[in-house]
């Protein structure tokens, strides 16, 4: 026969308090460590720049899925600002992969001009990239840009005829299973895209860099 256990109200409250204390804990955080999650804000900030790049380069794809490939690099390009003053241009880059559930994914790059010496010489009346737009709104990311690799740089895009966009992501409903396999982004495609953006940034520096004391003597 089981023995009946009787506890007082005071004992019951003590048990409840102990359970609450086990479930609630407080820790002090490092003063230098950010405790708030700003990822939604930063992600939304980049979306407008992606839209700008799509408009300028006339390449269409959706941002329903918009994820990092996990590949990030910093490019340093050394030049002489003056004859005896070497400087380093610095560009932070991240390879992204985006597209709707119904689309073959498309690669694009987030780029930050971390350190540069262009002095406003990049603008063009016929821009090819976001850094050439004369009156581009900054939206808080003052040195941030987006570029989309073309077909020859690894992206799997279809040619559009008579449309606003010249190129577009493939629609999954319009391709066969065999084509689907061929159109998926491979490591080789990513490598090609990285080489393309490296060459693009190198040419950007070469085309726009001039020594300040050129012909002074």
Q: What is the pLDDT of residue 213?
A: 61
Q: What is the mean pLDDT of the chain?
A: 86
pTM: 0.80
Q: What is the pLDDT of residue 186?
A: 95
CB atoms within 10 A of CB 96: 20
Q: What is the pLDDT of residue 161?
A: 84
Mean pLDDT of 45-67: 94
Residue 209 pLDDT exceeds 80? no
Q: What is the pLDDT of residue 80?
A: 86
Q: What is the pLDDT of residue 100?
A: 94
The string of pLDDT tens digits covering residues 140-174 is 788 899 999 999 999 999 999 877 899 999 999 88
Tokens of 162: 């008579």
* Strand (E) or helix (H) holding 147: strand 144-147
Using pLDDT thresholds of 50, 70 and 90, give the confidence band for residue 63.
very high
Q: What is the pLDDT of residue 214?
A: 61
Mean pLDDT of 17-43: 75
Q: What is the pLDDT of residue 54?
A: 96
Beta strands 157-159 and 167-169, pairing class:
antiparallel
């Amino acid at each position: 026969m089981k023995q009946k256990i009787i506890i007082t109200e005071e004992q019951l409250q003590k048990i409840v308090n102990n359970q609450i204390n086990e479930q609630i804990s407080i820790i002090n955080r490092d003063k230098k460590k950010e405790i708030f999650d700003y990822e939604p804000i930063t992600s939304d900030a980049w979306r407008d720049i992606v839209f700008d790049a799509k408009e300028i380069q006339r390449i269409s794809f959706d941002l329903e899925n918009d994820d990092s490939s996990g590949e990030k690099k910093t490019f340093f390009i050394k030049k002489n600002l003056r004859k005896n003053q070497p400087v380093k241009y610095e560009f932070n880059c991240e390879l992204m992969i985006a597209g709707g559930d119904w689309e073959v994914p498309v690669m694009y790059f987030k780029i930050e001009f971390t350190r540069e010496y262009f002095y406003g010489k990049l603008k063009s009346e016929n821009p090819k990239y976001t850094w050439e737009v004369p009156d581009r709104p900054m939206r808080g990311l003052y040195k941030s840009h987006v570029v989309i690799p073309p077909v020859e740089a690894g992206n799997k895009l279809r040619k559009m005829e008579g449309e606003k966009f010249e190129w577009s992501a493939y629609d999954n409903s319009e391709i066969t299973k065999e084509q689907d396999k061929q159109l998926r982004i491979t490591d080789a495609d990513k490598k090609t895209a990285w080489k393309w953006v490296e060459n693009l940034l190198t040419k950007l520096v070469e085309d726009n860099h001039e020594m300040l004391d050129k012909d002074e003597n």
